Structure 1
Amino acid sequence: MDRIDVCLIALRRILRATELHSKDLAQSVGLTPVQLRVAQIMAESESTTGSIIAKRMHVSQATVTALIDKLDRAGVVARKPDPSDKRQTLLVLTDQGHALLDKAPDALQQKFAGEFEALEGWEQAMLVASLERVAAMLDAAELKSSAVLYPGEF
């Protein structure tokens, strides 16, 4: 097998791993990986705002609003007026949201981050450079993206 085939197979395995994890997450807790990440960010504090979540996820405020709307309808999050600033709306994770987080499998990006952190510095740099090069080869270097491994929801 030549190198191009090996590379294409590796890319397909990466895509397949994200697809399978996404399906597992949906079956176990009924959330998409991106919705799970929003809930995880919210669980880090008693309350937060959409702009803080947008900044953390490297996405637009409009994207976060759409995600929060879905999570609100599902009973995972609630919107509350900020007592110190009536113009601001705070987002809180509900008891149902906390319960979903407790039974959710680890996110694929968390596994990746743990493995990545265990690499030597030169290995991390090489991997970053290689992935940036692959993105450029696929004309994807300039596409807007977030630090979440799952496509299709932004």
Structure 2
Amino acid sequence: MTQPAPYPRTDDALIALRRILRATEQYERELAQSARLTPAKLRVLQILAAAEGQRATPTALAGRMGVSQATVTALVDQLNKLGLTSRERSMTDRRQLHVILTEGGAQALQDAPDALQQHFVKGFQSMQDWEQSMLVAALERVAAMLNAQGIDASPVLTLGEISRPRG
């Protein structure tokens, strides 16, 4: 009788984790090549495109993305430099600033490949409620096993810091 490998499921789990990391990395490269964007910048453009008047305050963007206002400011600075967004003072409250999607930003959004997280969301939402609960529990357990439960994270699939400028 042959003995099974000592930890066959460990290797399977590590392979699955590696595939997730590689898919995220590959998507980031494709996005950078096709639209010159990071996933976080793409998310800002998506939020603006869906907002009334294609505009939002930095506070609203930060709230939707689950990041700090400083992070949003850094992202918007980078998007402004690329001509994909602009800033404008509110007509009703001059203290308030709005981030506005430009035509260039709308075009970049149209040209960008589907976000990796959109694929995930579609698949996740097609699952039964109990399956979603089990998957979330398993992913939280994996995060804990990697001592990552205390790491601040937003719902944007990216490997690095989301406000970090890229080449």
The TM-score normalised by the length of structure 1 is: 0.98
Question: What is residue 99 of structure 2 aligned with on the other side?
Answer: 91
| CA-to-aligned-CA distance 1:79-119 (integer Å, 9 cap, x gap) | 01100000011110000000111111110001100000001
Matched, 1:10 2:16: yes
- Note the residue ranges of structure 1 that are not aligned, 5 or more in a row: none
Is the Cα–Cα contact under 8 Å of residues 25 and 159 in structure 2 kept in the other structure?
A: no
State how far apart, in whole Å, the 1-side matches of 2:34 and 2:157 are. Answer: 19
Aligned ranges 1:4-43 → 2 under 5 Å? 4-43=10-49
- SS of 1:91's partner is strand
Q: After TM superposition, what 4+ stretches of structure 1 lie above 4 angstroms from structure 2?
A: none
Counterpart of 1:94, as a letter, is T
Alignment of 1:140-151 (within 5 A): 140-151=148-159
Contact in 2 for aligned 1:34/1:153 (Cα 8 Å): no
Report how far residue 147 of structure 1 moved: 0.6
- Measured in 2, the distance between the counterparts of 1:63 and 1:132 equals 24
Residue 165 of structure 2 corresponds to none
Structure 2 segments unaligned to the other structure (5+ residues)? 163-167
Q: CA deviation at 1:149?
A: 1.1
Q: What's the TM-score, normalizing by structure 2?
A: 0.90
Q: Distance in 2 between matches of 1:90 and 1:146?
A: 22
Secondary structure, in 3 states, of the residue corresponding to 1:86?
Answer: coil
Kindly, what percent of the aligned residue pairs are identical? 53
Query: Which residue in 2 is equivalent to 1:44?
Result: 50
Matched pairs, number:
154
Kept in 2, the 8 Å contact 1:50–1:64? The answer is yes
Q: Which amino acid aligns with 1:25?
A: L
